Amino acid sequence: MARQLDPTKRKLTDIHCKSAKPLRDENGSTKPIKLSDGYGLNLEVRRDGKFWFYAFRLNGKQLKLNLGGCPTVKLSDAREMHQTA
């Protein structure tokens, strides 16, 4: 039986996802940022785009499962894919 995830502990909204931009340092170069939605679901914002990842451990190794790009995969779709994974 799959565990039930508490929807009240989710942190991101559609507005957060759309308005997220990578950080700029004093030299003008960009640094990627990672926004967490909880339970291992992350939105990675880089210069080349926004990508959904599911971070988890398997046999003691840290792994990341790519769930797709942000404009094509909405927050609700990413949460659904995360739940099935």
Q: What is the pLDDT of residues 10-60, one digit of tens each?
A: 788 889 889 989 998 888 888 999 999 888 999 999 999 999 999 999 999
The pLDDT value given to residue 59: 94
d(CA 17, CA 49): 11
pTM for this entry = 0.81
Tokens 């990413």, located at residue: 78
Q: Which of 75, 85, 64 is nearest to 2 (CA)?
A: 85
List the domain boundaries for the chain.
7-84
The pLDDT value given to residue 44: 94
The pLDDT value given to residue 26: 86
Tokens 């640094």, located at residue: 31
The pair of structure tokens assigned to 57 is 């451990």
Confidence of residue 1 (pLDDT cuts 50, 70, 90): very low
| CATH classification code of 7-84 | 3.30.160.390
Q: Are strands 33-38 and 41-46 parallel, antiparallel or unpaired?
A: antiparallel
Better pLDDT: 5 or 49: 49
Q: 19, 80 in Cβ contact below 8 A?
A: no
d(CA 71, CA 63): 23
The pLDDT value given to residue 43: 93
